[in-house]
Amino acid sequence: MEIKNNYLEKVITLDGPAGSGKSTIAKMLAKEMGYYHIDSGAIYRAYTYAVIKKIGYLNSPEEFGDVFLKEKINPEQFSLQVYFENDTQIIKLDTEILNEQLRTRELTERIKYIADNISYRYKVNQILRDLAVRYPVIVDGRDMGTEVFPESRYKFYIDASIEVRAKRRYEEYIQNYKKNHIDIEEIKKEIQKRDEQDKNRKIGALKIPEDAIIIDTSNLTRNMVLNLLLTYLQKKF
């Protein structure tokens, strides 16, 4: 019990929708404070990648979802490791280190089926809690302050307008994939669809924790957001 109380002193949660900037800020904050950053979305992405490796992309996300359910693929079938190396979160599937392959649009369209599944949610939550017991962490996601670390004292909800979030994702795709034929309106629709799915999930839905500080990053630079968070944290620590 003692460990449990202590470790929650070192857990800072950042929740928010896709493209709100929470991962970028979580990384900066972790560096500034000497904490470790955990990207919980990347773990859901990694399990989605593992399932895709097993059953393929199939013809559509819906068909992928049907086969995933029919074949009862559970997370224990995969050897997925999450750990820190040089202060960075590493996700390894068997011997493969996962990075950019987790960020494609095709994979993103299929995450829903894994993120809606209770076995995967339990598994991811367990991985997150195990890391938080061993390291001081800043953890970003959708349900960090509500489901996974409800007793954390330091909770933030990071938001931004849909226009700003779509623009950020658009720039990310252009930079990462060197593609310039992406339609920003299409990205906006994809984000809106994901917001709907994330907010209406039966367990682990995206919600604002009651005791969270809400920050809208639409008109703020990264450094402004970082300073804002540090100011709030200094008051609380």
Q: Which residues of this chain interact with ligand C5P, rule CB under 6 A?
A: 18, 40-42, 44-45, 111-112, 115, 141-143, 194, 198, 204
Instruction: Select 6 or 222, whichever has its Cβ closest to ligand C5P.
Output: 222
* Long-range contacts of the stretch 224-232 (C-beta < 8 A, 24+): 225/21, 225/25, 225/158, 226/25, 226/28, 226/29, 226/32, 229/25, 229/29, 229/156, 230/29, 230/32, 232/156
Instruction: Select 141 or 209, whichever has its Cβ closest to ligand C5P.
Output: 141
Smallest gap from residue 107 Cβ to ligand C5P (A): 9
Rounded CA separation 21/202 (Å): 25
Instruction: Select 35 or 149, whichever has its Cβ closest to ligand C5P.
Output: 149
Cα 104 to Cα 162, 166, 172, 196, 229, distances in angstroms: 20, 15, 11, 20, 30
Smallest gap from residue 128 Cβ to ligand C5P (A): 8
User: What SS3 class is residue 165?
Assistant: helix
Smallest gap from residue 23 Cβ to ligand C5P (A): 7
Cα 51 versus chain centre, distance? 18
Instruction: Select 35 or 121, whichever has its Cβ closest to ligand C5P.
Output: 121
Smallest gap from residue 205 Cβ to ligand C5P (A): 8
Smallest gap from residue 41 Cβ to ligand C5P (A): 3
Instruction: Select 6 or 174, whichever has its Cβ closest to ligand C5P.
Output: 174
